[in-house]
A and B are shown apart, each in its own frame.
Chain A
Amino acid sequence: MAIELYRVDDRLIHGQVVIGWGHPLALRFIVLVDDNVAGSDWERELYRMGTPPEVDLYFETTESAVARMPEFAARPDPGLLLTADVATMSRLCDGCTAIREVNIGGLHHRAGRSPCLPYVFLSAEDEVALKSIAARGVRVIAQDLPASDPVELGDLLTKDGA
């Protein structure tokens, strides 16, 4: 089964992830890739509390995630990989050719970011990074929940928050 969804979401572990995707995909493990979180005890504790007890949670740096990817791919149960920003996902795609699709699940308002969808605000750097991911042949879509309509990268970059 391995990793079924590679998602960029600045809230990392929250309801849309553990229930919205977690229930239909019957998730059994989550790989949280974030260099800051991986090095912070209290943040790891907080995210662990937000994860259902029956779901295994792995905290990885970008580097360790790339190294362990074959191990995650060999797992018999379905999993999900999360990053909080596009740059981290882009680096993962550089190091792992097995990623065929990236889901933009939530990038919220911050100074320098412009609205594309109610749940996607992108900076100029994000747009460049997403285009470079797509240039590798990886499908990039925005989709917060399984029942929402997926928005392809080309359409996402032309939207103005509508």
Chain B
Amino acid sequence: MLARLLTLQGSYNYETMIGNGLAFAMEPALRLLPGGRNGAAYRDAIARQSRYFNAHPYLAAVAVGALARAELSLEDPARIERFRTASCGPLGSVGDRLVWAAWLPACSATALAAFGLGLSWQAVVLLFLLVYNAGHVALRVWGLYAGWTHGLAVASALGAPLFRQGPSVLTRALAGIAGAAIPLMVARAAGTRPLGVAIIVAVGAAGGLALVQLEGRVAGWRAAIWVLTAFITAGVLVR
């Protein structure tokens, strides 16, 4: 099941989202239902679990464990359905806050700092992948274990300090690391002296503040496509 969890989003689509992946990940456990693969309980469970579901891909392991436990305990299907509906949002929220908004950018900023400090390409890439995936794999393993252990009462496990306080602790770390990493990586990427770095970072920070004022209405990377297209056109045409 753990290996299958790594492909949880393999059949991601706009109708059932990761519902089919949930059923695919859980299927080995469902073989233990009365009647095995040929039993009605197995088919009913597969049908239920392959319906719409969406959550953070790592934290969805909690749902996989909890729902597998509920199915094998022959829990009331209506309660299973209610849990599937109710767990989508919170498992998405917890995972998005902890991983996408905090752990991933903190690891990314760490890799940028390592680059800025002069580490080799092998060291930067390995540092990033090893540190990030230590957290990633631990979260999937914990999720499956917690879901299986607590079943449909798994909400209490999400109250652990890691999930409540972790995002803000990691965000502070992200801010500190990014603050140090950006001037260091600018110096190495642009190959400039401290004065040049200060100018690039100051102008960039002003641009960053302007983007923040837009309250997220403009995606920076898309705006950058137009800015760089204009710059490259100027770079070719200017005399």
Which chain A residue lies CB-closest to B87?
A46
Contacts of B96 in A (CB 8 A): 14-16, 18-19
Tell me, in angstroms, the Cα distance from A104 to B16 when the chains sit together.
19
Contacts of B215 in A (CB 8 A): 24-25, 146
Question: With contacts A47-B89, A49-B90, A110-B52 known, is A18 near B97, CB below 8 A?
Answer: yes
- A108 pairs with B54, CB closer than 8 A: yes
- B86 pairs with A15, CB closer than 8 A: no
Within the complex, what minimum Cβ distance (angstroms) separates B190 from chain A?
A: 28
**Which A1-47 residues have a C-beta within 8 angstroms of B?**
11-21, 23-25, 37, 42-43, 45-47
**Which B82-99 residues have a C-beta within 8 angstroms of A?**
82, 86-97
B76 interfacial contact with A, CB 8 Å = no
**Which B34-89 residues have a C-beta within 8 angstroms of A?**
52, 54-56, 82, 86-89
- B216 pairs with A24, CB closer than 8 A: yes
- A19 pairs with B101, CB closer than 8 A: yes
B182 interfacial contact with A, CB 8 Å = no
Q: DSSP majority for the B interface?
A: helix
Contacts of A14 in B (CB 8 A): 55, 88-90, 92-93, 96
- Interface residue range, chain A: 35 or more
Which chain A residue lies CB-closest to B93?
A50
- A49 pairs with B216, CB closer than 8 A: no
Contacts of B89 in A (CB 8 A): 11-14, 17, 47, 50
- B91 pairs with A50, CB closer than 8 A: yes
Contacts of A12 in B (CB 8 A): 89
Question: With contacts A45-B156, A109-B15 known, is A50 near B90, CB below 8 A?
Answer: yes
Q: How many A-B residue pairs have CB under 8 A?
A: 103
- A46 pairs with B158, CB closer than 8 A: yes
- B158 pairs with A49, CB closer than 8 A: yes
Tell me, in angstroms, the Cα distance from A53 to B215 when the chains sit together.
22
A123 interfacial contact with B, CB 8 Å = no
Contacts of A11 in B (CB 8 A): 54, 88-89, 92
**Which B204-239 residues have a C-beta within 8 angstroms of A?**
215-219, 222
- Interface residue range, chain B: 35 or more
B17 interfacial contact with A, CB 8 Å = yes
Question: With contacts A25-B215, A50-B90, A50-B93 known, is A15 near B153, CB below 8 A?
Answer: no
B14 interfacial contact with A, CB 8 Å = yes
Contacts of B54 in A (CB 8 A): 11, 108
**Which B159-174 residues have a C-beta within 8 angstroms of A?**
159, 163-165, 167-168
Tell me, in angstroms, the Cα distance from A64 to B158 when the chains sit together.
28
Q: Name A147's contact: one of B155, B158, B219 (CB within 8 Å).
A: B219
Within the complex, what minimum Cβ distance (angstroms) separates A29 from chain B?
A: 15
- B158 pairs with A19, CB closer than 8 A: no
- B93 pairs with A17, CB closer than 8 A: yes
Within the complex, what minimum Cβ distance (angstroms) separates B152 from chain A?
A: 8
- A18 pairs with B93, CB closer than 8 A: yes
Q: Name B217's contact: one of A51, A108, A146 (CB within 8 Å).
A: A146
Q: A17-B89, A24-B215, A119-B14 are in contact. List 14 more A-B contacts (CB 8 A).
A: A13-B89, A14-B92, A15-B96, A21-B216, A24-B217, A46-B155, A49-B94, A49-B163, A52-B168, A53-B168, A108-B52, A109-B16, A115-B14, A147-B219
What are 16 residue pairs bridging A and B, where the CB atoms are less than 8 Å apart in the complex? A14-B55, A15-B56, A15-B100, A17-B93, A18-B93, A18-B96, A19-B97, A21-B216, A42-B152, A46-B90, A49-B90, A52-B168, A53-B165, A54-B168, A110-B52, A118-B14
Q: Spell out B's residues near A (CB within 8 Å).
A: 14-17, 52, 54-56, 82, 86-97, 100-101, 152-153, 155-156, 158-159, 163-165, 167-168, 215-219, 222
- Closest CB pairs A-B (n = 4): A15-B96, A50-B90, A50-B93, A14-B92
